[in-house]
Chain A
Amino acid sequence: MSGLPDAQLPGGPLPQAWQHCKEGLPLVSPQRKRQLRLLVVGSGLAGASAAATLAEQGYQVRLLSFHDSPRRAHSVAAQGGINAARPRAADGDSISRLFADTVRGGDFRAREAGCWRLAEISSGIIDQCVAQGVPFAREYGGSLATRNFGGALVSRTFYARGQTGQQLLYGAYQALMRQVAAGRVELLCRRDVLEIITVEGVARGVVARHLISGELEVHTAQAVLLASGGYSNVYFLSTNALKSNASAIWRAHRQGALLANPCFTQIHPTCIPSGDAYQSKLTLMSESLRNDGRVWLPLQPADPRPPAEIPEQERDYFLERLYPAYGNMVPRDLASRRARELCQAGHGVGPGGRSVYLDLRDAISSQGASTIESRYGNLLQMYERITGEDPYTTPLRIYPAPHYTMGGLWVDYRLMSSIPGLFVLGEANFSEHGANRLGASALMQGLADGYFIAPLTVTAWLAGHATPAIAADHPACREARARAAGRIAALLQVAGPRPVDAFHRELGAVMIERCGISRDAAGLRAGLAEVAALEQRFHAEVRLPGTAAGPNPELEKALRLEDFFGLAQLMLRDALAREESCGAHFREEHQTADGEARRDDSRFAHIAAWEHRGGADPVRHAEPLRFTSLEPSARSYR
């Protein structure tokens, strides 16, 4: 491959760009659609919505998902809400404001055409979901309710208590099951996609392992859509569901798909801190709690007193102090960094001084416990279960944790990767979020991709490229299947002393230390060596019980971890090459005198897209970013 493929960005003014693009996209006749098969990998918001919509249009859709049911995809866990610009709102919201917040929130490292389109589609997403029966919160008069969310000054976040992702996913899942019943979607659950099949550089299918029988299956089609979600689990402890993985995108990367901005990992400031070494995950407390909760730490380092005994004047409401305009609502990267610094300076509370208080006391006394309960009841209950502490009477303890990956497979404006015929949707692509995702916009992006963008752009591609699906015994299929079988055999053969999780925990520790809330060159270089060494040890010392036949959860984990090792090294490389601080990527060498991030637009106003090169070092390509509508400015929330 030489350089980057064309990003297909629209010309002309942003507000009409998507409309123009849509009108120019070629169509496929209904009769032909019925003869074309599409593979969708993943049944989260992005995959389920795309599969349902493409099936409605008449395609034969085959959907493969790791889970036993589409309803369990990780999207189900999203708590806070989904943004949409509804221009009728009295607080003056508009498409251009949501656009501007998205671009600024992403610290000018996203394409503006994509951000505009996302803002433009957002309102239609809400309508679609309402029509499916998603029970969004309503005002007493019956209209849709909204709330404020981190990083925005207008109230544009639609929600269903603390379970917005769940309700949106059930809407998409139900739309999907309707198509399954109609015979238009073939649903194949419990399938782990382990390889992408390409023929002459075009995506033609996947190899999947049946998680019950252990059999390797070949699935072929006219186009493949990956909607396999994010990879924060590379950190071991993260807010992601345990099975969230990078396998599908990493295997696509190895087949030639560029991977963009892998180092941009959002660290979420409000998670329940970790305790025991055997803890398996970190649980998010929705940042909507910051609407009512005040973040503070004792002024005195290592203050041993319980929070209730610390008088007002000895509390440091540090976000309110440092960022008077946004206060507790500053974007996630700032809130995370400030919390970490103060904890490192000895002000932290809880075990190991690794948490800060999120205090609902003032909100409870002014609005009443029942109002707070109606807003956040399920979250607070969850907190109580995990920590054994009552958040109504004592402040919650929170700490930043890896949460969302802005990086992913590079896609053009039409969501096609650099492998023709391979589309990537939702968190699996590198998306519109730039260096730092604005709260409540991942759900929006997943659904925009699945309901409204991919169905048109996949069609447009098929109009020009559909050739018959290849047979399952095509040499490319046999090769891909052999690659998967070879990996499995190699892993099973090691027979070392240590279980997979032990290695995963070590990888996570390296990644959080070297490529977490803040990074520096020396640490990143050390991280590269540490991960490479750990990977070697993994291949020499891992122990997998059982065989390739039948269910083997340890084998599933080992395959996942093997992919994480490769991805982790690319993340470190990407972080090392980006010698600036922007959004979630904070390089300690590049900061202002008062500790804020210093972006370098002259050298880094681009998307970094990495090309895999067999045994050699990967190659970094740069897609320049142009801003015609907003002047790149320093992000300031002070």
Chain B
Amino acid sequence: MSSRTLCLHLRIWRQESAQAPGGFCDYTLESVSADLSLLEALDQLNEQLITAGERPVSMEHDCREGICGSCGFLVNGQAHGPRAATSVCQLYLRQFSSGERLTLEPWRAAAFPLVQDLAVDRSALDRLIAAGGYCSVNTGQAADGNAMLVGAEQARSAFDTATCIGCGACVASCRNASASLFVAAKLAHLGQLPQGQPERARRARAMQQQMGQEGFGSCSSHLECEAVCPQEISADWISWMHREERRSAG
């Protein structure tokens, strides 16, 4: 921890609603503590705006510890900002130098309509899960959890893909606005476990189909998704998913 403060120039996309016109506005925070997160700096800006009688900047956030997937916008064109494997709520100002200019914009993808300012609607991701991202088991019908052995490595690998927080950064950073990394992560999570096997092929087909319906583009292997994913989900799983598709088709 330091007691350093810095001056930040913020260029923020302001748009009252999807229908209203939008544009950038410039703001300056004169001396903010370097120990604050970027979202906390925006809180500070918002208090200033409110006190001045202006509308504060809308942004999604909740847990502020990198786990809920609510937050997310582009910082200088990068989803979740410059730090690897970090969601924007975990971006701390000590990362920046005084006088720096940050441009903040919402995710841009046809499947994610704008709500206001930096907030977008990502319910399309929920509909992808509803299409098949689950194991069909009713409550009370489960067998002993130890009856099916799952090797430690296998459990870990499934876990690594299960950690996707549904933030949508992969979509926002993909030039085709594809949700491939999100879908691949779910297919790989369930597809690597014995519980996920009975519905494996159906799941892959249904989620792929839903992706098309929601208006997500297709994957052309630019791997930007992997670079911005705060959970470091590997794009190798997209290749794995393509093999799944061939498998489920054949």
Which residues of B come within 8 Å of A, CB atoms?
1-2, 16-17, 32-33, 35-37, 39-41, 43-44, 46-47, 49-51, 53-56, 58, 60-70, 83, 85-86, 90, 92, 94, 115-116, 119, 121-123, 125-126, 129-131, 133-146, 148-152, 154-156, 158-159, 162-163, 165-166, 189-190, 193, 195-196
Between A and B, 12 residue pairs with Cβ closer than 8 Å are A68-B70, A69-B123, A133-B190, A135-B150, A137-B156, A142-B152, A167-B162, A173-B129, A275-B35, A385-B90, A545-B49, A546-B55
Interchain CB contact under 8 A, B143 and A131: yes
Interchain CB contact under 8 A, B121 and A177: no
Q: Are A77 and B68 CB-contacts (below 8 A) given A68-B123, A351-B1? A: yes
Give the contacting residue for B139; candidates A160, A452, A544; CB below 8 A.
A452
Q: Give the chain B neighbours of A391 by CB distance below 8 A.
A: none
* Complex CA distance for A67 and B70, rounded to whole angstroms: 9
Interchain CB contact under 8 A, A278 and B134: no
Stretch at the interface among A100-108, A496-504, A574-582, A593-601: A496-504
Interchain CB contact under 8 A, A175 and B134: yes
CB distance from A455 to the nearest CB of B (A): 7
Interchain CB contact under 8 A, A550 and B159: no
* Complex CA distance for A92 and B50, rounded to whole angstroms: 59
Q: How large is the interface on A (under 10, 10 to 19, 20 to 34, 35 or more residues)?
A: 35 or more
Interchain CB contact under 8 A, A382 and B90: yes
Interchain CB contact under 8 A, A180 and B69: no
* Complex CA distance for A453 and B8, rounded to whole angstroms: 52
CB distance from A557 to the nearest CB of B (A): 10
| CB of A242 within 8 Å of the partner chain | yes
CB distance from B47 to the nearest CB of A (A): 5
Interchain CB contact under 8 A, B142 and A124: yes
Q: Are A388 and B94 CB-contacts (below 8 A) given A69-B123, A77-B63, A127-B143? A: yes
In chain A, positions 262-300 with a C-beta closer than 8 Å to chain B are: 275-276, 278-281, 283
Chain B interface, >50% SS class: loop
**What 9 A-B pairs have minimum CB-CB distances, sorted nearest first?**
A142-B149, A130-B145, A174-B134, A131-B142, A127-B142, A181-B130, A135-B159, A177-B130, A138-B155
* Complex CA distance for A128 and B137, rounded to whole angstroms: 8
Interchain CB contact under 8 A, A174 and B135: yes
CB distance from A300 to the nearest CB of B (A): 22
CB distance from A609 to the nearest CB of B (A): 30
Interchain CB contact under 8 A, B1 and A388: yes
Give the contacting residue for A178; candidates B17, B47, B136, B193; CB below 8 A.
B136
Give the contacting residue for A69; candidates B65, B90, B125, B155; CB below 8 A.
B125
CB distance from A291 to the nearest CB of B (A): 18
Instruction: Report the nearest B residue to A189, measured CB to CB.
Output: B123
Give the contacting residue for A278; candidates B44, B55, B141; CB below 8 A.
B44
Interchain CB contact under 8 A, B126 and A71: yes
Q: Are A382 and B123 CB-contacts (below 8 A) given A127-B144, A388-B2? A: no
Q: Give the chain A neighbours of B58 by CB distance below 8 A.
A: 551, 553
Q: Give the chain B neighbours of A145 by CB distance below 8 A.
A: 152
Interchain CB contact under 8 A, B151 and A142: yes
Q: Are A166 and B67 CB-contacts (below 8 A) given A127-B145, A135-B158, A278-B36? A: yes
Interchain CB contact under 8 A, B135 and A131: yes
| CB of A163 within 8 Å of the partner chain | yes
CB distance from A351 to the nearest CB of B (A): 6
